């Protein structure tokens, strides 16, 4: 087996791994990255963030054309759906971006290896691919991400009972789709297929949707999604799903068995350490399959680091990227840090739901006194002009210092609006800082400024 030497070997080319590799190369490390899939970019680019957003946008445009344009005085003729072309748009987006990562590797002089990366001792990784390799490196970064998961009693058949991966490529619009789990991924894909005409039933074990998100905001989201036709059954623990002839049957506690033609299991993802041979270096995973790291992403084995979905924390692409950058900067420069209080999270439904920092529930639980400012989109001039009046912006600020602790927005373009809030939290801003910052008029961002005014009960337009 051919043997090679690098300064850093990254295992996995998702947003965590490929970004870490680029930053390491910028910092002068001889860097290699191993990826087992045929394209670079990981879950996010291949079967996650990017294809889902391509379908969300395309299905939203379709739905607008069908029902939403009349109010603007735009009359269109008969609208029909060319699903194959919509999928082509999604696939082309993915291909362009994954090739883009390959281009970035080339530009930065990163050596790519195609195959399964396997730890073969401290400082050694073997590549199990067409050309087997033995790589020696002072630093090894595990960025193997996560995988889809299912529930006990539900066997994924990769066809009728599937996960987000299948739901990104259904060949036709299902008549009735049953979705298990009302988390981010489920609600996004459920929205896509609802917009394209499917009946969508959501079964959620908890008594609310979007567990972990700000409860008031999640409640508003549920109301809006219900209006769009998603059917919710909360407190419904799914115990089984099976294919029966031409259809599927889903069983949940407290409900009659539900017949449908497709099942989407969206109950979370599991860290991916399969085939890595952690045991070869004496590394273990925790009870949830994650690799334990310290605040500098170092594992228990000197020289081996881990970042992204394979370690604890929210499973988000930008969280993996930030960790990748912080990890290699720390290795090379001695500094590198991620502020976990300032990591935004976005649900790309319509309207979007975005948050950063603490929820009201977290603040209450921690006994932190806070002031709350809420501003409804309906009172925002731009929202009215563009016909996107659903939603609100909410700012939570420390009752004593006025420091912004959490921001939760539901409304059009919330995912873009939240960037301002993340910067505010990163800079330790007060709600007064946001209120005093000039916001262009008329913009949706003014809703945030008004929410900041509302913290002190002095919103202008409500
Ligand atoms: P991954 O992206 O999972 O990449 C890991 C890579 O490692 C993979 O390419 C895998 O093939 C490779 N690999 C694994 N083991 C080995 C091995 N032994 N050898 C070689 N290669 C290996 N996040 C967001 O922030 N925003 C979103 O809008 C969003 N939407 C999503 C939508 C869906 C449908 C899904 C499923 C996920 C979404 N996510 C989103 C989550 C996001 O995709 C992940 O948080 C992110 O991809 C994690 O990055 P990562 O680099 O840690 O791992
Ligand atoms: P997320 O972790 O954000 O992807 O969300 C997964 C969702 O699936 C959570 O809201 C869970 O409560 C939900 N869930 C997990 N197990 C079950 C189950 N057996 N039946 C219904 N919902 C479930």
d(CA 211, CA 213): 6
Distance 268 CA to ligand 2 centre (A): 6
Pocket test for ligand 1, best of 39, 145, 315 (most atoms within 8 A of CB): 145
Q: What is the DSSP string of 318-335?
A: HHHHHHHHHHHHHHHHS-
Report the run of H or E that residue 373 belongs to, with start and end.
strand 370-376
- pTM for the complete prediction? 0.97
| Residue in 422, 183, 144 with CA at minimum distance from that of residue 299 | 144
**Beta-bridge partners for 203:** 180, 233
Pocket test for ligand 1, best of 97, 142, 144, 344 (most atoms within 8 A of CB): 144
Contact 203, 233 (CB under 8 A): yes
Ligand 2 pocket check for 445: Cβ under 6 Å: no
Q: What is the pLDDT of residue 446?
A: 98
- Each residue's pLDDT, cut to its tens digit, for the chain (462 residues) gives 899 999 999 999 999 999 999 999 999 999 999 999 999 999 999 999 999 999 999 999 999 999 879 889 999 999 999 999 999 999 999 999 999 999 999 999 999 999 999 999 999 999 999 999 999 999 999 999 999 999 998 999 989 999 999 999 999 999 999 999 999 999 999 999 999 999 999 999 999 999 999 999 999 999 999 999 999 999 999 999 999 999 999 999 999 999 999 999 999 999 999 999 999 999 999 999 999 999 999 999 999 999 999 999 999 999 999 999 999 999 999 999 999 999 999 999 999 999 999 999 999 999 999 999 999 999 999 999 999 999 999 999 999 999 999 999 999 999 999 999 999 999 999 999 999 999 999 999 999 999 999 999 999 998
Ligand number nearest to the C-alpha of 206:
2
Ligand 2 pocket check for 185: Cβ under 6 Å: yes
Q: CB neighbours of 39 closer than 8 A, spacing ≥ 6?
A: 45, 46, 94, 95, 98, 99
d(CA 406, CA 371): 11
408 is catalytic: no
Ligand 2 pocket check for 237: Cβ under 6 Å: yes
Ligand number nearest to the C-alpha of 48:
1
Atom 40 in ligand 1: which residue has the minimum CA distance?
49
DSSP helix/strand/coil, 317: helix
Q: From the alpha carbon of 44, which atom of ligand 1 is closest?
A: 43
| Residue in 307, 337, 333 with CA at minimum distance from that of residue 140 | 307
Q: What is the pLDDT of residue 158?
A: 84
Ligand 2 pocket check for 204: Cβ under 6 Å: yes
Pocket test for ligand 1, best of 49, 156, 327 (most atoms within 8 A of CB): 49
Helices then strands (H, E): number in the chain?
13, 22
Distance 410 CA to ligand 1 centre (A): 26
Pocket test for ligand 2, best of 48, 52, 267, 312 (most atoms within 8 A of CB): 267
Q: From the alpha carbon of 252, which atom of ligand 2 is closest?
A: 20
Q: What residues flank ligand 1, with Cβ below 6 Å?
A: 11-17, 34-37, 42-44, 47-49, 52, 116-117, 143-146, 164, 185, 272, 275-276, 308-309, 315-318, 320, 348
Query: What's phi and psi for 257, nearest 5 deg?
Result: -55, 140
Distance 156 CA to ligand 1 centre (A): 20
Atom 34 in ligand 1: which residue has the minimum CA distance?
48
Atom 4 in ligand 2: which residue has the minimum CA distance?
268
Q: What is the pLDDT of residue 37?
A: 98
Distance 43 CA to ligand 1 centre (A): 3
Say how far residue 151 (Cα) sits from the centre of its chain: 21
Q: What is the pLDDT of residue 153?
A: 85
d(CA 26, CA 460): 48
């Amino acid at each position: 087996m051919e043997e090679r030497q690098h300064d850093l070997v990254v295992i996995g080319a998702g947003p965590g791994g490929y970004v870490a590799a680029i930053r390491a190369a910028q910092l002068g490390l001889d860097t290699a990255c191993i990826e087992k899939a045929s394209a670079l970019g990981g879950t996010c680019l291949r079967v996650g963030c990017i294809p889902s957003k391509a379908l969300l946008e395309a299905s939203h445009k379709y739905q607008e054309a069908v029902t939403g344009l009349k109010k603007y005085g735009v009359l269109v003729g008969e609208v029909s759906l060319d699903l194959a072309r919509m999928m082509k748009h999604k696939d082309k987006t993915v291909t362009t971006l994954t090739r883009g990562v390959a281009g970035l590797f080339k530009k930065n002089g990163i050596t790519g290896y195609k195959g399964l990366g396997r730890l073969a001792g401290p400082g050694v990784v073997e590549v199990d691919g067409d050309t087997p390799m033995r790589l020696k490196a002072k630093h090894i970064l595990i960025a193997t991400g996560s995988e889809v998961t299912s529930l006990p009693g539900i066997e994924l058949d990769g066809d009728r009972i599937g996960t987000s991966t299948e739901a990104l490529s259904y060949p036709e619009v299902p008549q009735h789709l049953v979705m298990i789990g009302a988390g981010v991924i489920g609600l996004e894909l459920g929205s896509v297929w609802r917009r394209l005409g499917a009946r969508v039933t959501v079964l959620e074990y908890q008594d609310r949707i979007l567990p972990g998100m700000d409860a008031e905001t999640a409640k508003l989201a549920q109301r809006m999604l219900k209006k769009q036709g998603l059917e919710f059954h909360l407190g419904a623990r799914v115990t089984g799903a099976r294919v029966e002839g031409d259809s599927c049957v889903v069983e949940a506690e407290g409900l009659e068995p539900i017949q449908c033609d497709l099942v989407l299991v969206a109950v979370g993802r599991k860290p991916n350490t399969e085939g890595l041979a952690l045991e070869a270096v004496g590394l273990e995973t925790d009870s949830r399959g994650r690799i334990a790291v310290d605040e500098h992403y170092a594992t228990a084995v000197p020289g081996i680091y881990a970042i992204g979905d394979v370690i604890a924390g929210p499973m988000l692409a930008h969280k993996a990227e930030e960790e990748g950058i912080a990890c290699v900067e720390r290795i090379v420069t001695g500094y590198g840090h991620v502020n976990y209080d300032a990591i935004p999270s976005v649900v790309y439904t319509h309207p979007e739901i975005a948050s950063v920092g603490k929820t009201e529930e977290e603040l209450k639980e921690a006994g932190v006194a806070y002031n709350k400012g809420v501003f409804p989109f309906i009172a925002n001039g731009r929202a009215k002009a563009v016909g996107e009046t659903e939603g609100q912006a909410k700012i939570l600020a420390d009752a004593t210092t006025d420091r912004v602790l959490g921001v939760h927005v539901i409304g059009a373009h919330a995912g873009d609006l939240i960037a301002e809030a993340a910067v505010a939290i990163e800079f330790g801003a007060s709600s007064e800082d946001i209120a005093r910052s000039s916001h262009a008029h008329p913009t949706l961002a003014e809703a945030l400024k008004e929410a900041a005014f509302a913290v002190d009960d002095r919103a202008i337009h409500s």
